Chain A
Amino acid sequence: MKTLRIGILSTAHVHADGFADILQRTPNIEILGFSESLVTRAEAFSSSTKLKHFATHAALMAERPEAVIICSETSLHLPLTRLAARGGAHILCEKPIATTLEDALQMQEVCQAAGVQFMTAYPMRFDSSLISLKARLAQKDLGRVLAIIGINHAENPMHRRAWFANKTLAGGGAVMDHTVHLTDLYRWLLETEVSRVQAEVSNPFFPDLEIDSAGFATLILGTGETRVPASIDCSWSRPVGIYPRWGHLKLEVILEDGAFEIDAFAGKLSLYSSRAPRIANWLGWGSDATAKMLGAFLDAVRSDTPVPITWQDGYEGLRVALACYDSSSTGQNIKLME
């Protein structure tokens, strides 16, 4: 099998360590290293991963990677996408793909112009519990879907990476951070698009910050006869350092003749220890969704076939997140599709 040359552009995102760890266990790839301009982040990443450090993104791109993973602050996805695309590298990009629709559209343009693929990092599509739910729903034997209720509440990630709560770099707070995963899962599960968005966005948890820390969105999926009401809880409502884990991804699908509840991270042990990161810890097992997502990206690059999760998927998620802000500030229902 052909060896792929891979680089990690920036280590700003909390997922960068996880990607490095998986890459190091993946056969038939050559990890060129990572680029990081912040010395403190670079030192920490070097010491945890032992990967080669490039002080600039251009220096890493000069090594001609065939594929890159963009783990920068969200507002820097555009310049890094431009740099990677012009260097001929296929891109796996963290979510949300941008802070504005204009940036996202430019990202699409530069990738098309350079003939490189762009994949949005939505790992939950590769989670086994959600794959089995999708297969079960595809049987279409339980009547109409009456509603979907989703929970992706979490800790405020700023305590691990401060930029997550920076309006300029992240584009917003909890809504930007955690609306897109469930939005994407709903689109994927029902094979439809979001037609309406209504939301309450607020900052009750961190009044000193100028971003949102809580959000409840109510979407309508599809149009006409197939419309389904669906809610998303994207709040940073788990108390930092106190809750036994970052949070949850749960969703409930209620149909006319049955219901399903998914708790994607239900596989866990409880550890109570004075020597662990927290007093009470949930040690998870059973979800290797990120590794499968990365594998799917590498397969697509290697075989020159379309990536399974596209720029469009990233764009649709961003549209919903931005619509939540619009809806909450105006009180209006935002129409995304006729």
Chain B
Amino acid sequence: MRIGIIGLGLMGQVHLAAWRAAGAEVVALYDQNTAQTERLAREHNAKVCSLPELLELADVVDICLPTPQHLEFTLLAAKAGKHVVCEKPMALTLEDATTMLETCQKAGVRLFIAHVVRFFEQYQTAAASIARGEIGALGTMRLKRAGYQPAKEGDNWFLDETRSGGVPLDLMVHDFDVANWFAGLAGAGLVTRVFARSSRSLHPDAKGDVVLATLRFASGAIAHLEGAWAYPKGVFRTGFDVAGTDGVIEWRSDDANSVQSFLPPVAQSIASVGLPVLSGGADPYHLQIAHVKHALETNSPFLVTPEDALTALKVGLAVRESLGSNLVVNL
């Protein structure tokens, strides 16, 4: 399987390593930062390409670009008959996301949206327990994803909400997908009502942003989600609490991991964009890409359907709408 990666920023490099770990051949790289791309190409025995060249060489196109470019590059790849892996959020509008989905369907290629949180073992273990019925009928969910404001060098597009969708679409979309996933496994149905408040919706000049979102599901189950680009640099906290009629599942990234380090203080380099802290087990980014590869090789389903990604986006857009109107949004 020959892979072409478009965009070799932080996520592009994570995907590159994951493809290599999965034993795939990364043949083509395309990025505007030519010096860095040349270095990566040398290290991984790939070729720095023009876009037409990449579309020619690759069987699978992996798009790790800022969100506004997802539509354009997905359509190019699909029309060239290539399978598409695309970073989350799928797009900034339902129209764009629907066009991506339909174009891939028509072209007969598969579309994989990288909702990587589904590949974190904590979340998979919780999902399996929910699916086994161990917590009973779903009552409440709390989902946390709180880190620091992205400080990407050069064009920090994350902070431009018209391009990234801000905290709801860039960060919380992970947990909107998790919420839908868990609710689906527990038979709680779809989100019917959304309400949200945020620091920035009250104070546009606030230094960081915290978004508090409440979801109601068809069954009457309710969820509280918190997303933050607000903590001091380097902090990234995640967690969930899923309660049902017969039990509750709790997990916090603050809890002890299998490796704890106690070292003399040294100046640390902090990633420009926060990623969840990985604990003991397998790397979820690798699991995700290996699952894409397996799904293609065996023509089997992928854990996250494009429709799932679209549904997560729909909730994210409703949260943004609620932040704008200060009103409940019915779905």
Q: Does A108 contact B (CB under 8 A)?
A: no
CB-based contact B139/A214 at 8 Å: yes
Q: Does B243 contact A (CB under 8 A)?
A: yes
Report the separation of the CA atoms of residues A331 and B331 in the bound assembly, to the nearest whole angstrom. Answer: 13
Q: Does A116 contact B (CB under 8 A)?
A: no
Q: Does B202 contact A (CB under 8 A)?
A: yes
For B214, give its contact among A216, A258, A259 (CB under 8 Å): A216
Residues of B within 8 A of A206 (CB): 245
Q: How far is the CB of B195 from chain A (nearest CB, A)?
A: 5
CB-based contact B212/A218 at 8 Å: yes
Residue of A nearest to B243 (CB): A237
Q: How far is the CB of B301 from chain A (nearest CB, A)?
A: 30
Residues of B within 8 A of A147 (CB): 198-199, 210, 212, 226, 228, 230
CB-based contact A331/B328 at 8 Å: yes
Residue of A nearest to B146 (CB): A254
Residues of A within 8 A of B23 (CB): none
CB-based contact A216/B222 at 8 Å: yes
Report the separation of the CA atoms of residues A216 and B198 in the bound assembly, to the nearest whole angstrom. Answer: 15
Q: Does A233 contact B (CB under 8 A)?
A: yes
Q: Does A257 contact B (CB under 8 A)?
A: yes
Q: How far is the CB of B253 from chain A (nearest CB, A)?
A: 13
What band does the interface of chain B fall in when counting residues whose beta carbon is under 8 Å from A?
35 or more
Report the separation of the CA atoms of residues A200 and B243 in the bound assembly, to the nearest whole angstrom. Answer: 16
Which of A198, A216, A225, A239: most chain B Cβ within 10 A? A216
CB-based contact A239/B203 at 8 Å: no
CB-based contact A200/B232 at 8 Å: no
Q: Does A81 contact B (CB under 8 A)?
A: no
Residues of B within 8 A of A231 (CB): 212, 214, 224, 226
Residues of A within 8 A of B137 (CB): 204
For B140, give its contact among A198, A199, A229, A235 (CB under 8 Å): A235
- A-B pairs, 9 with minimum CB distance: A147-B210, A237-B243, A229-B197, A256-B207, A204-B139, A146-B199, A331-B328, A216-B224, A200-B222
6 A-B residue contacts at CB 8 Å? A146-B228, A215-B222, A230-B212, A231-B212, A233-B140, A237-B139
Give A residues with C-beta under 8 Å from B. 143-144, 146-147, 149, 151, 153, 198-200, 202-206, 213-216, 218, 220, 225, 227-231, 233, 235, 237-239, 242-243, 254, 256-259, 331-333
Give B residues with C-beta under 8 Å from A. 137-140, 142, 146, 193, 195-199, 202-203, 206-210, 212, 214-216, 219-224, 226, 228, 230-232, 235, 241, 243-248, 326-328, 330
